[in-house]
Amino acid sequence: MLIMNPMTILCFGDSLTWGFSNGGFTQHPYALELQSSLMKYFPKDSISMDNRGQSGDLVISPPGGFLPRMGAAYSEVSSPYTWAIILGGTNDLGWGKPGDEIYSALQKVWDIPLSHGTNVLAVTVPECDCSSDLADRREYVNSHILNHTQENFYTFDLFRAIPWASMDDEQRALIWDDGVHFTPQGYDLLGSMLADRIVELVQGRQKMGADSGVVAEGKARQNPLVEEDDKKIKQTIIREDEVYAD
């Protein structure tokens, strides 16, 4: 089921989920804007976030803690999350880990929420100021994330949604804090995009239900409230073939 009331969302990952900015002196997780945006789409629903970002963590366990942390997350909740947004791999790539090992480790992490009936939204590794070797391994990981198929498994292509190299200096200063992390405004942009993606998936399931004569348990708003400035930012930085922004 894609629609549950209340909606509980696990935001899981490394420093990009934690909200690392300004050298770590500022914490501004994307979960803040994600919750705010979803509340505009679903004003009558109870929407809660569990932010489990850990700076410096790796997907490959050991030495990383993604797998045991995900297991702990599910042992600590009384009922499964509606969604688990999983973003990881940047640190593994930085430490020279092979792409196939990162993808294999991600599958083990995804399997925990999937086994509990949670919808998984897997996020690709974002672009960064990095070497060509790292970029090649990242491409391997991202292509396998996007081509992965499993029940209740969905993807969001952050690599394409918020680019690094193709931005001009003014845009980059607005969105990127350094060559890896975002500014608070960048995290807010990510949060609103993730909300758009979740609503897109929920509306798609509702439409399928309506077409087959099944009455959905609620309707997402067809005209979501999005601040005009956010729209302009999205339209400016999204690559021409991106479909997540209007």
Does any domain span residue 243? no
Task: Centre a 10 Å sphere on the Cβ of residue 65 and count the other Cβ atoms it contains.
Answer: 16
CATH number, position 90: 3.40.50.1110
Residue 44 in domain: yes
- Ranges of beta strands (E only) in the chain are 7-13, 20-21, 26-27, 47-53, 83-87, 119-123, 153-156
Question: Roughly how many angstroms between the first and final C-alpha of the chain, as a whole number?
Answer: 26
Residue 107 lies in a domain: yes
- Which conformational region is residue 175 in: left (phi greater than 0), alpha (psi within -120 to 50 degrees), or beta? alpha
Pairing between β-strand 83-87 and β-strand 7-13 as defined by DSSP bridges: parallel
Q: Decide: helix, strand or coil at residue 9.
A: strand
Predicted confidence at residue 224, as pLDDT, reads 34
The pLDDT of residue 242 is 38
| Overall pTM surpassing 0.85 (yes/no) | no
Q: Is residue 41 part of a domain?
A: yes
Q: Are strands 7-13 and 47-53 parallel, antiparallel or unpaired?
A: parallel
Domain contains 176: yes
pLDDT for the residue 148: 99
Where in the sequence is the domain holding 159, given as residue range(s)? Answer: 7-237
Which 8-state DSSP code applies to residue 182?
B
pLDDT in tens, 12-21: 999 999 999 9
In this prediction, residue 121 carries a pLDDT of 99
In a domain, 244, yes or no: no
Pairing label, strands 26-27, 20-21: antiparallel
Nearest CA-CA partner of 230 in 37, 22, 15: 37
Residue 242 is assigned to a structural domain of this protein:
no
Q: Is 1 inside any structural domain?
A: no
| pLDDT tens for the chain, residues 1 to 246 | 455 468 999 999 999 999 999 988 999 999 999 999 999 999 989 999 999 999 999 999 999 999 999 999 999 998 899 999 999 999 999 999 999 999 999 999 999 999 999 999 999 999 988 888 899 999 999 999 999 999 999 999 999 999 999 999 999 999 999 989 999 999 999 999 999 999 999 988 666 555 544 333 333 333 333 334 444 445 444 433 333 333
pLDDT at 238: 40
How many structural domains compose the chain? 1
**In whole angstroms, what is the distance from residue 154 CA to residue 232 CA?**
26
Nearest to 122 by CA among 89, 98, 92: 89
Q: Which pLDDT does position 210 carry in this prediction?
A: 54
